[in-house]
Each structure stands twice: as C-alpha cells, then as structure tokens.
C-alpha cells in the first residue's frame, strides 16, 4: 500500500509467487479451515480429519510461495534490469533461478521447522497444564508425549540448521551477519557472544562489544562464518561500503532468538529424560516450565523475522533497490502512520479472534474428565483422580 515504487519495479517477479500462493494455497487452506472450525457436527470423523490435513498442506504450500518471494528479495537471481517508460524494472528471465534462489531452501527449512517447533511447544504447554491440574487425563497425556517427541527432534535440528544457515548469511549478506554480532571492526578469530548484557543505558541502542558484559565463546563466530576456520577474518560494519542496518535491533533480537532456542533444547531434553525414567507426569517443575514456555515459540519466530528483515536494511531488494526508493511517491508521514495503525488494529482483532477460537476448541473438543484410577509406573505414588 505504501510501496508503489517497489511494486512497479519488482511487480513482475514479486507478484507471480504471491498470485500462485493465493490460487494454489490460500483457497485450499481457507476452504478446509472452514470445515475444521465450523463443521465438526456436520461432517464425518474421516472428513473432519482430512480437513485438518488439507489445512496443514495449504499452509505449507503458502509458505513455499511466500518464502520464494521473500528469499528472492534477500538473494535476487534470474532477472535483468530493463527500462520501461524511463523507469528501471525487474524482468524475469529465468524463473527456476529466481524461484530456487540460494536463500529459499535455507529460509524454508528454518521457518517451517520453527513453525512445527512452536506449535509443538504450544501443544505440550497446554497438555502440561491439564496433566498438572488433572493428572490422569489420558487424552492430555498422549498430547503431551506427541508434542514432546516433536520437540526432541525440532529443537536440536533448529540449532544445527541455524549454524549452517549463519554461514550462508555471512557469505551472501555480510552486513547482516556483522550486525548480528555487533562487529564494527574487521578482525580475525572472532568469538561468538553467547550472552550479552548492557552495562549502560546507551548500550541498548548502540551495542559496541567493548561496552557490554559478554560471555563469549572464542573463535566461534569466525568458525560459523567460514565453515571451519577459527582464525577467519570477519569484515566489520565500519569497513563495508553498504550502509549498516539498525545494529541494536538485529543484535538484541538475534541474542533473544538464540537464547530461547537453547532453552527449548533444554526443555526437550529435560522432558525426554523424565519420559525415559517414567516420571514425565510427576515433575511439577517441568510442567510449569512447559506451561510458561507455551507461547515462547511464536515469539521466537517473530524475533527470527526481525533479524531477517531488519538485518537486510537499507535494502528492500538486496543490492537492487533501497527501502527509501521503494516508497510511494508523495507518501506523507501522517499517511504512513494511519496505514500502520490500521494494520495494527486489524491484526490485533484477528489475533484476539484467533485466541478465542483456539481456546474454544481446546475447552470444547478435548476431554478433561479423568480416566480410571491407576498407578503411574514411573512415579512413587498412586495417581488417583479427584471427584471433580
């Protein structure tokens, strides 16, 4: 709405994937989502199950086309710049190179694994709440085990894949990688700031490494950037020709994202250990940790997108068009504010509606009545459900 110049320049390439997303994915997802949310009493159990599968398929197809469009903006390929009516325009000349650009596979695996991880964490947290407050509910015990099993796979995979993804970023967007580490000066053998705490208020908006209290793992940033050389040189932001992104936003968002990622790994292994010992449903502290972490996966996804999008500034299309050049001609600050406020209002309403539907589904569809009394073989006491 506010980026007409960008749309004019990149519409031929950017519009195609988004149109395909609407025709191929959105319609499929929206149709079966209607059945899934409103059709429980109107369709058979088999069709209801099928509808959930097609909702999932639609979202994954949607992710393919949206991430193709976004990844092309990060690493544009398969295009030529031509002039039409005196204005530079992107012309698509190689769809395969454009759609299968170098960033797409990295973004797709990382984003979709993060999505599965965040949903598994939410499932596990909700299940842990019901197990914690009503221990012998078989439905929630199974849900908790399913969510935890997915966490045990996705949480470590996200860290492993993120390590490789970081090398790709350092090669294709070095200014983003330097901002992630607040690396202003060119240096070799650079360590990874595992934990950073500001010592002064100014450090929050200008996180120079020498002004922070940091716990650093020596040489790891160089290892990450080079793929194995602990003495590799990392070019600092001060020595790059391109304008630096907003370093503080990228730096702190990256720290929070990585910190939460390690917390999810700890949660997964903690739960896995308790499960292996047969004590999964007896650990109240674990249940509280899972409940408290239930929405942190969604927050971490947002932090990842902040790193991705803010980190490529000042470019809206890396190396082709700056964000400032993509703005609609004549756009005023008031108009931009009104548009932003409108989007915030609409999406806040959608978020409230989303939580209403999710809470309704959880309360109405999932059984919470306790099962028959039995002894939990992993625990040290008999588990007897209460009368209520």
Instruction: Provide the residue ranges of all domains of the chain, joining segments of one domain with +.
Output: 1-101, 106-184+235-380, 187-228
Q: Which of 115, 116, 74 is nearest to 98 (CA)?
A: 74
**Residue 317 vs residues 73, 75, 198: alpha-carbon distances, Å:** 4, 8, 32
For residue 183, the model assigns a pLDDT of 86
Q: Which two tokens stand for residue 347?
A: 């999406």
Per DSSP, helices labelled H in the chain are 4-20, 27-38, 45-74, 95-99, 104-133, 138-172, 174-180, 202-205, 220-226, 247-276, 284-292, 296-310, 333-365
For residue 168, the model assigns a pLDDT of 93
DSSP 159-213: HHHHHHHHHHHHHH-HHHHHHHTT--S-EESPPEEEEEEESSTHHHHS--GGGEE
Q: What pTM, to 2 d.p., does this model score? A: 0.86
Sequence-distant (≥ 6) Cβ neighbours of residue 155 within 8 angstroms: 117, 261, 264, 265, 267, 268
**Residue 21 vs residues 58, 61, 66, 97, 315: alpha-carbon distances, Å:** 9, 7, 7, 19, 24
Q: Which two tokens stand for residue 303?
A: 């932090």
Q: What are phi and psi of 197, to 5 degrees?
A: -130, 125
- Residue indicated by tokens 């599968």: 53
- Residue indicated by tokens 């202003």: 184
For residue 67, the model assigns a pLDDT of 96
Give me the helix-helix angle, 138-172 and 247-276, nearest 10°: 140
* C-alpha R_g of the chain: 24
Give the span between the Cα atoms of 47 and 333, in whole angstroms.
50
Residues forming a β-bridge with 92: 79
For residue 169, the model assigns a pLDDT of 94
For residue 368, the model assigns a pLDDT of 61
- Residue indicated by tokens 């947290």: 125
For residue 382, the model assigns a pLDDT of 44
Q: What are phi and psi of 207, to 5 degrees?
A: -80, 65
Sequence-distant (≥ 6) Cβ neighbours of residue 368 within 8 angstroms: 130, 134, 137, 139, 140
Give mean pLDDT in consecutive 10-residue pieces for the chain, a chain of 388 residues.
90 88 89 88 92 93 94 95 88 94 96 96 94 82 95 96 91 92 84 78 77 77 75 84 89 93 96 95 94 96 96 94 92 93 96 90 70 46 43
Q: What are phi and psi of 250, to 5 degrees?
A: -65, -45
Sequence-distant (≥ 6) Cβ neighbours of residue 256 within 8 angstroms: 300, 303
For residue 370, the model assigns a pLDDT of 60
Give me the helix-helix angle, 284-292 and 247-276, nearest 10°: 150
**Are 175 and 242 a contacting pair, CB within 8 Å?**
yes
Q: How many CB atoms lie within 10 A of CB 197?
A: 10
Give the span between the Cα atoms of 192 and 178, in whole angstroms.
11
């Amino acid at each position: 709405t506010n980026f007409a110049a960008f749309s004019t320049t990149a519409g031929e390439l950017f519009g195609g994937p988004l149109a395909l997303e609407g025709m191929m994915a959105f319609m499929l997802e929206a149709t079966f989502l209607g059945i899934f949310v409103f059709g429980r009493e109107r369709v058979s159990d088999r069709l209801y199950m099928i509808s959930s599968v097609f909702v999932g398929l639609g979202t994954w197809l949607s992710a393919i086309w949206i991430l193709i469009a976004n990844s092309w903006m990060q690493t544009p390929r398969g295009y030529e710049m031509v002039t039409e009516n005196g204005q530079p325009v992107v012309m698509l000349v190689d769809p395969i190179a454009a759609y299968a650009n170098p960033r797409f596979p990295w973004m797709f695996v990382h984003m979709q694994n993060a999505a599965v991880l965040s949903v598994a964490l939410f499932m596990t947290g909700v299940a842990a709440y019901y197990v914690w407050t009503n221990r012998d509910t078989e439905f929630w015990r199974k849900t908790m085990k399913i969510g935890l099993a997915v966490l045990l796979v996705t949480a470590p995979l996200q860290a492993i894949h993120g390590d490789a993804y970081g090398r790709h970023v350092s090669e294709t967007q070095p200014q983003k990688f330097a901002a992630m580490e607040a690396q202003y000066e060119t240096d070799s053998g650079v360590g990874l700031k595992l934990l950073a705490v500001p010592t002064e208020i100014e450090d929050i908006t200008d996180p120079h490494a020498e002004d922070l209290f940091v716990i650093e793992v020596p040489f790891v940033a160089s290892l990450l950037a080079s793929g194995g050389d602990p003495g590799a040189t990392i070019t600092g932001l001060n020595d790059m020709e391109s304008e630096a992104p907003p370093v503080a936003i990228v730096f702190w968002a990256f720290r929070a994202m990585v910190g939460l990622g390690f917390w999810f790994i700890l949660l997964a292994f903690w739960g896995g250990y308790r499960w292996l010992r047969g004590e999964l449903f007896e650990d109240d502290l674990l249940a509280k940790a899972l409940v408290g972490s239930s929405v942190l996966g969604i927050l971490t996804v947002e932090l990842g997108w902040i790193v991705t999008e803010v980190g490529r500034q000042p470019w809206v299309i890396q190396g082709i068009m700056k964000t400032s050049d993509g703005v609609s001609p004549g756009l005023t600050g008031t108009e931009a504010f009104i548009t932003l406020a409108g989007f915030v209002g609409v999406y806040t309403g959608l978020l409230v509606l989303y939580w209403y539907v999710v809470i309704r589904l959880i309360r109405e569809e999932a059984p919470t009545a306790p099962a028959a009394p039995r002894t939990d073989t992993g625990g040290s006491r008999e588990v007897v459900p209460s009368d209520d």
